[in-house]
Amino acid sequence: MSHDYDLIVIGAGSGGVRAARMSAQAGAKVAIVEEYRYGGTCVIRGCVPKKLMVYASSFAESFEDAKGFGWTVGESRFSWPDFMAAKDAEIARLEGIYARNLANSGVELHRARGVVTGPHSVRLSSHDKDLTAKHILIATGGAPFVPDVPGACHAMTSNELFELPEMPRRVVIVGGGYIACEFAGVLNGLGAHVTQLYRGKRILRGFDGEVAGFVQDEMIKKGVVIRLESDVAAIEDPTETGMVVELTTGEKIEADAVLYATGRHPNTRGIGLEEAGVTLGAKGEVVVDEYSRTSVPSIWAIGDVTDRVALTPVAIREGAAFARSAFEGELTAADHELIPTAVFTQPEIGTCGMTEEEARASHDIEVYSAAFRPMIHTLSGRDERMLMKLLVDKATRKVLGCHVVGHAAGEMIQLAGIAVKMGATKEDFDRTVAVHPTAAEELVTMKTPTR
């Protein structure tokens, strides 16, 4: 049976775009279907605009720190509308690049909503008949999840924050994960009064305990009010003076905005997957094998919609593995082991490998840990520390985990992650000559285990 295409990709985020381009370059006839904007969550309303916001918010401290180095810094003022206009222009530029690269690769672009109508067919909102393909790839990503509490309709998620015309001055952020913590740092840095609510006993659950506690302490020092074992009971109807948030503790907080960052769910509703026979998991995620194949042989899925590792570079790797598997004759699984990750909290986190808790549960380990004041703050006078941490298997001497907290932690972990991925030992780190004066030299100069 002949089909209209060899491949139809639903979703033009990072993973879908990589899969579409590589498949087309391998000779496949490819169409990509996107109902919103090319680039997906990461480019349009995720990593990229978030990082630009992190940069914007960090200047406030830079102006203060400059005084310690002899600079006279005049009065400064942040313009949210000016920043948003610059951010929007950059996002539009990037979206244009994504669309051009797809078209230049020979991919047919459809700005429409796509719904799977069978193992080989997709209905587009822009067409009156189904399009058919040998393979269908689901790359629809995820969306923010907001719990069903009274008044939740008055809250916003990160999606809406990126479009706000004015910056709220009093913000309640609900959640303790990395997205909640990143936005707490951003809005605090821009001058808002931030109260972060988390129902757990410590923010950043799932991260190394020492790292999470360290970041929490530094965030509090910077002015973020963190309320643990607290949650929203209800949000009252907004008035001209703002809104009132009632907590599960019975207290009430006045705010101009409530931002929910309580996790994300896979985008699988209403796109015909179950009707086509595709198995979904408890959270709505597409269930796939190691090669990203679903329960229907002709339908594949990659990225956040599969709820494996929700990171842009991972979706890209999965997209590339799919193209090799489907069109280059080489069944390929994406490698999900030892993924280096940066979290743009303030201070920043870079992490690769096991947490101390995970390592202790499975290995006899040595912990090398150093907390110190970085050189820049000897003159700035700022009370801010960095943390460096290595987890070492006593038997093999292999570095099981590397954790960095502080300025440029993300840049450091990208390079340290190469060593960890290669199976470097503590002695490999020790043999490497320190680059002085840097903060990163601590990773190769920790001689004695902390515990």
How far is residue 316's CA from residue 330's CA, in Å, rounded to a whole number?
17
> Helix, strand, coil: what percent of the chain each, to 5?
35, 25, 40
Please check whether residue 251 is in contact with residue 294, taking contact to mean a CB–CB distance below 8 angstroms.
Answer: no
Antiparallel, parallel or unpaired: β 5-10 and 30-34: parallel
How far is residue 380's CA from residue 373's CA, in Å, rounded to a whole number?
11
Contacts of 171 (CB under 8 A, 6+ apart): 187, 192, 193, 194, 195, 255, 256, 257, 258, 259
How far is residue 217's CA from residue 347's CA, in Å, rounded to a whole number?
10
Peptide bond preceding 437: is omega within 30 degrees of 0, i.e. cis? yes
How far is residue 59's CA from residue 177's CA, in Å, rounded to a whole number?
24
Peptide bond preceding 119: is omega within 30 degrees of 0, i.e. cis? no
Antiparallel, parallel or unpaired: β 264-266 and 121-124: unpaired
CA 175 to chain CA centroid, nearest Å: 15
**Can you say whether the dihedral through the CA atoms of 253, 258, 261, 264 is positive or negative?**
positive
Helices (H) and strands (E) in the chain, counts: 12, 21
Active-site residue flag, 436: yes
Q: Which of 154, 265, 336, 436 is catalytic?
A: 436
Q: Where are the beta strands (DSSP E) in 222-305?
A: 225-228, 232-235, 243-247, 252-255, 257-260, 264-266, 299-301
Task: Name the maximum alpha-carbon separation found in the chain.
Answer: 75
Please check whether residue 20 is in contact with residue 6, taking contact to mean a CB–CB distance below 8 angstroms.
Answer: no
- Cβ atoms within 10 Å, residue 43: 23
- What the block records as the tokens of 130 is 């189904």
Half-sphere exposure of 99 (CA within 13 A, CB side): 15
Residue type, 297: P
Please list the alpha-helical segments (H only) found in 105-155: none
Backbone angles phi, psi at 439, to 5 degrees: -75, -35
Active site residues: 436
